[in-house]
Structures are given as C-alpha cells and as structure tokens.
Amino acid sequence: MTWFFEARHRACPGIAHPKSRRALGLMRIGAAWVFTLSLGSLGAGCAGSGAHLPHQTGDPGARDHRHARDEDGRTGPVVLDGEADGALDVTAEPAVRLELDPEGRASLASLEKLARTALSLAAEGRLDEAQDHLFVLADQAELPAPSGADSLDIEQRSSLLRRAGLLGAVLAEQYAFAGDPLAADSLLADGYARLGQLAFPDSLVPATGAHLPAITVDLLKVENQAVTRWVNHFTGRGRDHFQIWLERRAEVDSMITAILDEAGLPRELIYLAMIESGLSPRAVSSAKAVGFWQFMAPTGRANGLRVDWWIDERRDLEASTRAACRYIRTLYGQFNDWALVLAAYNTGEGRVERTINRHGHDDFWNLKLPQQTVDHIPKFIAAARIGEDPERYGFSVPAARPLQYDLLPVDVATDLKVVARCAGVDESVIQALNPALVRGLAAPDRKSYNVKVPRGQGQAAQLALAKVPADKRLTWSRHRVARGETLGRIAGRYGTSVAEVARANKLAKPYLIHPGDELLIPMPGQLSAEAAARLADAGSAGKPKAATKPKTGAKGKGRYEPPAGWERVSYDVRKGDTVGGVAKRLGVTVSHLRQVNGLPRSNLIRAGQRLFAWKPPKG
C-alpha cells in the first residue's frame, strides 16, 4: 500500500504518514479504494454495443470494466443529450454524453461509461467532478427499468447503483480526511449508512458493514442455472401448483413463522415445507414421509411426535412445525451451513456426513449427492425467491386468513362426528382442523386430547359434549382379522354389511383380507359394551391387539352356532364356482352356507376365498 500513501500525500500535503490517526483513516480509504477498483473491473458492461455477457460467479451484474477517456486521453464531465433540443451542457468541456430515450432514461452502455469516468476522476483526485458524475449515475440507475427489459438489464442497473454507492462512500472518506479530521467520523457514518441501504453481493458486505443472515449468504443469494431452471418451472409449467401453494400459505404462514421466530430460525424456512409437501397435511411421499414437513415415522418420533395407529402428529401443523424446528436446529449445529442443512433434511445427515468425509470438503455445490437432493436446494432457493415477491413473477397474492380455532378437551374415546354435532358444524370442518386424528377418533387411549373446533365454538361444544354419555360417543369399532375369517363373517358379527366395512377401510377387493389385518367396523348404532372394551384395551401406544372373540351361545344376528358335536368343513373357491355349487360339494344347503359365511344375497364369491360349513358327525 506504500504507493497509495505516497500518491495521496502528494495530492493532499496535509495528510500525515500512516502512523497518525488520519493515516489510519487512509488505510480504510485504501481498502475501500481497492474494493472499488475490483468492483469496477467486475461491474462494467460492453460500452457502445449494449451487448450483455453471461453472468459470472459473484456479482450477478459482473461485466468487463476498463477506464473510459476522451480522444485526448482526459476524463471529463457529463452531458445529457435531449431528444431534439440538442445537449444540456453540465460544463463547458463535455466528455461523457448520455443519450436519453423518450422517457428520459440513459442507455446502459452510456451509464457504464459514466461509471468508469467517475472512477477515473476519483483516482486522479478530481473529487468534485467525480461527485457530479456519481450524482447523475445514481439518478439514472434508480429509474425503473424500461418495459420489456430482461433480467440482465435489471441486474446491471442494480450493479450500477451499488457501484455508485460504494464509490460515494470512498469519496466521503477522501473529502473528510482532506479537510477537518474532526468531522471525519460523522461524514463517514453518513456515507456508510447510505451504503447499508443497498443490496450488495456477498463479497462486498464487509465494506458496507451490513450483516446478512446466514441463510441469505449460504443460499438465497446463490444464482446459477439450476436455480434459474426452477424459477422458470414455477413460473411456467408449475405455475398452477405454485399458486395453490400461495393460497395455502395464506392460512398457515402466521403460525409457521411465529414458531420459527420462537425457535430463532429464519422465516424463509416456510419454503422448505412448501416444496416438501405443498403445505398439505395429507401429503405422503413414495418413501412414506408424511405431513407438512414430510417426516419419516422414526424421525418424527425422535423429535417428539406421536405416530401410531390412532394419531399421526406429522399431519398436525403446530406439532410438526415445532418438531421440524428441533430437527433443523440439530442439523445446523452439526453442519453450520444452510445448504448442507437442507441437503441433510432431504437425504439424511448420515449420508451428507459420509459424502463430506469422502470428498474432503463441505461445499454443497461440489458434493456428489443423490439427484433428488442436488435438485432440492435450488428448488428451495427458487421457491423462496418467488415467494418473497410473488407479484413480480405474475402471481396473485391471496389475503391472509390465519388458521384460528378453539381447543376442546376430550378425555373419553369420542368420534369426530359427535364432536361436529356438538360444535354445530359439518364433520368435514372438524376433520380438516384435526388431520392428525387419522381414525376420526379423539382420546382413543382415554388420555385427554385437545380437539380443534372453529373459533368461537369451543365453549358451546364443551357444554354439549358433557351431556353425551361415554357409551354413545363412538360409531365404529376396531377388529383384527383372525385366521379363517371372511369379511362377510366379520360384518355379520357386528351387525353391519360387507359394503360398509369395505367402504370404511377403502378395500378395493373385499375378499382379500389376511390374518392380522386391522379393520374399522361401522356400527349400526351405539357401540356395544364388548366392542368398547376391545377399544379401551388397544393401549396408549396404539399397538394392535387381537380382537376379543365373542362369547358363543344362542344364535345371534349374522352368526351361526352349530349343534353340539357337528364338524366344520371348508372349501377354497375356484374360478367358476357358484354358491350353489359349493353348497352341493359340501353337502349343505345354500341358506346354511350363506348364514355361516355371512354371504350377501348377491351370491358374490371370489376365487381364493375360503367358505365354511357345519355337518353332523358321520355314522
């Protein structure tokens, strides 16, 4: 830096050697000066032609930059060309002429030349002239881009504005230290305050003193072809889906961001849930990840979620968001880099850790990870970029409609249909508010559970529910299929139909049930005491337990009780068999076969189905 101090001392004799306080200030000027020269070499465009070069790594507006001079080798003042009235002379010795369009905007090529001239003037110590150039440059760069301007035009104008701000701060330091050193601090503070309002590339942040969040530095300022592809997808073929995501965000945004704030995490992480699930509680991946944050069951349980046969809190917005915060904080503590955190969230921290160890570095963009994970990070960046300014990309922004509800404490196994009647709303409303209750049942293990009801309905629902006896709060039971049981026999045992059981359990092929299968059995009325006891025995962990076998005795509806000593026989249905044919083979009547097996009147039997009959003993 010796050449710099010698040059400045000759230009300003009042400036002392570097050991003085003023010289310490000069060291800051020198650092910023070198930064400005670097920025100039990166930031200029192709003067004259108006052509744009491809983006380079770093500043999106990076361009080749050389000092511009007039024919005599001198830099000079600015002249603005009018449309028809000739030139407006700023000085009597014009060197830079800005050609203005009908809307008063200068071409980018002219502005680039103006920026290079201002830089040259500052280097020569002609501070007032440099300041004049910067004034015009900043004024022009702040104008809106012309209609039809592409993204490169917009980024180049932003780059020009940043360069003007940075050089302006350098000039402030030069003015301050060339004059009264006591006034330097206030002048510098003012100059750098103006710089702090600009969006600088990451490499220039230290010069402005601005502090960017880690997620911005690690992710959101990344610009590459992969990010561009995802932006183009969301604004093209994926536009309809992204608009749906924005609609859903209007409902969940306030709750998610409040929980992220509470956990000390960036609000932008809402876009992680957006690309993971489309902000849908019912999203299920091919790998069986479930809910808003797409937790696998073991990971969900490890982060405090209840995941069992009755309740799946991966689908609950508040519970799953808190679990996601715990998991993400753990990942950030491990990797300390947001790109790696999101990669680990997608593919697992173990795989990311092994990949880092294998490669010997932790630069996400140069790690060989699964393609899904490689796509995941630019997809997040694109979603965040669009989500922070949807209107810029042509999306409509729905009005916020925060999710609001009252909590209804339930400590007895209660069907959501009963809750809906007590709250005076449709059952679908209660189901939408409680997606975690996957069986449509609250408090199955008789532990208190807070059921969500519409805002304002909590007190009335609680009073109404208190009047419903415990034995009338369920409209279905649970049954585990035993060996040899058919759907018809099971339905008959509970006094319902095969069609109802198949519909409740979404069975495409009712005859294909297997021992150990769990079935929900719709009840024709209130739940029997026997079925209620079976339900209570399910246990708080939600682990399946074998169904209690009904007591034998007199004949009951849908159940055949054979006379003492009779033997049971069976037959496996083959293709082409009929009920009458099977009855004949077994040596029983059709009505006997129907009653024993609970067959419907349609005579529907399927190949592979096993039918039973009872026959008196031989001899």
Closest CA to 442 of 464, 475, 467: 475
DSSP labels for 569-610?
Answer: EEEE--TT--HHHHHHHHT--HHHHHHHHT--TT----TT-E
In angstroms, rounded to a whole number, what is the distance separating the alpha carbons of residues 206 and 84? 45
Give the model's confidence band at 78: pLDDT under 50 very low, under 70 low, under 90 confident, else very high: low
Pairing of strands 518-522, 414-415: unpaired
What pLDDT score does 595 carry? Answer: 81
pTM value > 0.75: no
What pLDDT score does 510 carry? Answer: 67
Q: What is the mean pLDDT of residues 83-107?
A: 56
DSSP labels for 121-186?
Answer: HHHTT-HHHHHHHHHHHHHHHTSPPPTT--HHHHHHHHHHHHHHHHHHHHHHHHHHHHS-GGGHHH
In angstroms, rounded to a whole number, what is the distance separating the alpha carbons of residues 423 and 406? 11
Pairing of strands 567-572, 610-615: antiparallel
What number of residues does the chain have? 619
Q: What is the mean pLDDT of residues 72-98?
A: 46
99-119: per-residue pLDDT in tens? Answer: 777 777 788 888 888 888 888
In angstroms, rounded to a whole number, what is the distance separating the alpha carbons of residues 204 and 35? 8
The tokens for 81 are 């060309």
Side-chain-facing half-sphere of 610: CA atoms under 13 Å = 11
Total Cβ atoms within 10 A of residue 612: 18
CA 203 from chain center: how many Å? 28
Sign of the dihedral defined by the CA atoms of residues 59, 62, 67, 69, in that order: negative
Q: What domains lie within the chain, and their CATH numbers?
A: 2-210 (no CATH), 225-393 (1.10.530.10), 405-468 (no CATH), 476-536 (3.10.350.10), 567-615 (3.10.350.10)
360-375: per-residue pLDDT in tens? Answer: 999 999 999 999 999 9
Total Cβ atoms within 10 A of residue 546: 12
The tokens for 47 are 């003067």
Above 80 in pLDDT, residue 284?
yes
Identity of the highest mean pLDDT range in 17-26, 51-60, 91-100, 154-163: 154-163
247-277: per-residue pLDDT in tens? Answer: 999 999 999 999 999 999 999 999 999 999 9
557-579: per-residue pLDDT in tens? Answer: 345 677 777 788 888 888 888 88
Closest CA to 617 of 569, 562, 566, 564: 566
Identity of the highest mean pLDDT range in 44-48, 105-109, 337-341: 337-341
In angstroms, rounded to a whole number, what is the distance separating the alpha carbons of residues 264 and 551? 59
Lowest mean pLDDT among 2-11, 150-159, 248-257, 566-575: 2-11
Lowest mean pLDDT among 19-28, 211-220, 223-232: 19-28
What pLDDT score does 276 carry? Answer: 95
515-565: per-residue pLDDT in tens? Answer: 888 887 876 544 444 444 444 443 333 333 333 333 333 333 345 677 777
291-321: per-residue pLDDT in tens? Answer: 999 999 999 999 999 998 789 999 999 999 9
Check residues 272 and 587 and name the one with the higher pLDDT.
272
**Three-state DSSP state, 290:** strand
Above 70 in pLDDT, residue 358?
yes
Q: What is the mean pLDDT of residues 85-96?
A: 42
